[in-house]
Structure 1
Amino acid sequence: MTESQPAGAQSPRSVADLPALVSLGVERSGRVAEVTLLGPNKGNAMGPDFWRELPLVFGALDADPEVRAIVLTGSGKHFSYGLDLPAMMPSWSEYLSGEALARARLGLLDEIRRLQDSVTSIAATRKPVIAAVSGWCVGGGVDVISAADIRLASAEAKFSVREVKVAIVADVGSLQRLASIIGEGHLRELAFTGKDIDAARAEKIGLVNDVYPDPDTVLAAARELAAEIAANPPLVVQGVKEVLSVNTEERVRAGLRYVSAWNAAFLPSKDLGEAVQAFVQRREPDFTGE
């Protein structure tokens, strides 16, 4: 494996063995599998089902000898709005209380590392993964595509490492993986500001390889590229991926562990509560640094 799978995870051994899924659709055409984000909430937001199902799906794709390349895309107009805060917050209330003590902080650490392992399952699969992005790709969506091997976009796509806007240090992979994709300067700009960038800027900085006129065209291009890769000797392709991943995997792993410890200590804050309230009340937050 190029990056560690979640410890003790029992993944199905093939696409055919996958259980019924809620947040992801999986189809195989010849040697190419296609994974589609389904939501089920608006903009394919990532709720509890997504984080549970993602490692199951990519574990099965990694184990399936019939699969040689994977296309990852979103349903509807958007790739993903990112983390589904309303769906996730109820189970996090104990962790995020300003009065949380050591046991709750340890629970938060475990939860962050569970989400990290979920996204890492994409990077860990030995089969090349091509992300086809249309519409919005925000927060957790960027975490997901940063774990892919190749990224393509349609002209109307927009990207944002937006966690800073909701008083969170991005902790699921963007800060660890994007430096080797777009460079430190571009990553710091995106992470410090939380700004949105369009597909043209994303291509200019190397976040995506190519931009296509519309969603149908980018998905067709991703499928064609996956088929081209799948036609090559599969063990050699897997070897290329593993050799390339050696350059970054230790740094990524160390960075993920560090940010999980940081957020377990410092994520609960008045600013986070203000961000959640502002989101619910549909207003601009007023951060005080507390």
Structure 2
Amino acid sequence: MAEAPNPGVAVVRLTGPGRGNMMGLAFWEELPRVFGALDADDTVRAVVLAGAGNHFSTGLDVQEVLGSWLGRLGPGAPAQAAARTELRGLIRGLQDAITSVAACRKPVIAAVHGWCIGGGVDLISAADVRLASADAKFSIREARLAIVADVGSLQRLRGIIGEGHLRELAITAKDIPASRAEKIGLVNDVYAEPAELMAAALAMAAESAANSPLAVAGTKAVLNEGREEDIARGLRHVALWNSSFLHSEDLLEAVQAMAENRPGVFTGK
């Protein structure tokens, strides 16, 4: 959902189906359309990306997006080359949706409150600047769900928070508060309340919108040069990895554990 509160500034709000703005199939279809339209709109000079309700996003809706795959690649399934090729195409489509944010020529400022989990972190990693309120919590949660994060956080965060912090967060799948996120550079600033956060994000967007749009777009293009080539290579690799190895007994256990609201018990099978 896009808004236009100030001249030259658009606000995109994540609005999920009552589950913390969880990223279901509709989200992945709408995101590239929205950012493609913003990129083409000459009246838009900067974008603020925020979540509606109490959270930014609780991440991928695993059951809705991957549920149909849980039984297709298991023991006893027929020859799987075509199915795995289709799965790779699905993953590449999710990746392209997030990349539409990074590719947008307008600067994108992510304003994060509440939970920002998994796919939410992938999404904000594609923004140009990240801000947070004090209640924000972040988690690269995928390893806890028996998944290799595959839509951008492992590739983009290396240049944002550095190798050591990225490896810690991705391998442990721990949750971190806004204060730690600011310390490691995941967010630039932390504000006491979500309203204060939104005001700051809109003010930053207005500052950018007041500048030459050609110069701002050119600056973003120059900053992206080289980095985006490395990211694209990493995304191709992880898409191949997950199309080969995503399905596992551990993944089935993770889905069951989520349904039962308990920690997963993993066996490495």
C-alpha displacement of 1:176 = 0.4
Asked if structure 2 preserves the Cα contact closer than 8 Å seen for 1:152 and 1:211, the reply is yes
Structure 2: 5+ residue stretches without partners: none
2:119 is aligned with 1:140: yes
Correspondence 1:98-137 to 2 at 5 A: 98=75, 99=77, 101-137=80-116
Structure 1: 5+ residue stretches without partners: 1-24
For residue 58 of structure 2, what is the aligned residue in structure 1?
A: 81
TM-score by length of 2: 0.96
Residue 34 of structure 1 aligns to which amino acid in structure 2? V
Once residues 95 and 105 of structure 1 are traced to their aligned partners in structure 2, the CA distance between those partners, rounded to angstroms, is: 9
TM-score by length of 1: 0.90
Correspondence 1:47-196 to 2 at 5 A: 47-93=24-70, 95-98=72-75, 99=77, 101-196=80-175
Once residues 238 and 49 of structure 1 are traced to their aligned partners in structure 2, the CA distance between those partners, rounded to angstroms, is: 29
Asked if structure 2 preserves the Cα contact closer than 8 Å seen for 1:175 and 1:187, the reply is yes
Selected match of 2:23 from 23, 26, 46:
46
Name the count of aligned residue pairs: 266
Once residues 220 and 282 of structure 1 are traced to their aligned partners in structure 2, the CA distance between those partners, rounded to angstroms, is: 36
Residue 193 of structure 1 aligns to which amino acid in structure 2? T
Once residues 92 and 220 of structure 2 are traced to their aligned partners in structure 1, the CA distance between those partners, rounded to angstroms, is: 24
Cα distance change on mapping 1:261 and 1:226 into 2, 3 Å: same
Once residues 65 and 18 of structure 2 are traced to their aligned partners in structure 1, the CA distance between those partners, rounded to angstroms, is: 12
- Structure 2 SS opposite 1:43: coil
2:268 is aligned with 1:289: yes
TM-align CA RMSD: 1.1
For residue 202 of structure 1, what is the aligned residue in structure 2?
A: 181
The alignment-based identity, stated in percent, is 62
2:238 is aligned with 1:259: yes
Once residues 41 and 79 of structure 1 are traced to their aligned partners in structure 2, the CA distance between those partners, rounded to angstroms, is: 12
Once residues 50 and 32 of structure 2 are traced to their aligned partners in structure 1, the CA distance between those partners, rounded to angstroms, is: 16
Once residues 248 and 41 of structure 1 are traced to their aligned partners in structure 2, the CA distance between those partners, rounded to angstroms, is: 36
C-alpha displacement of 1:282 = 1.7
Once residues 47 and 288 of structure 1 are traced to their aligned partners in structure 2, the CA distance between those partners, rounded to angstroms, is: 28
For residue 271 of structure 1, what is the aligned residue in structure 2?
A: 250
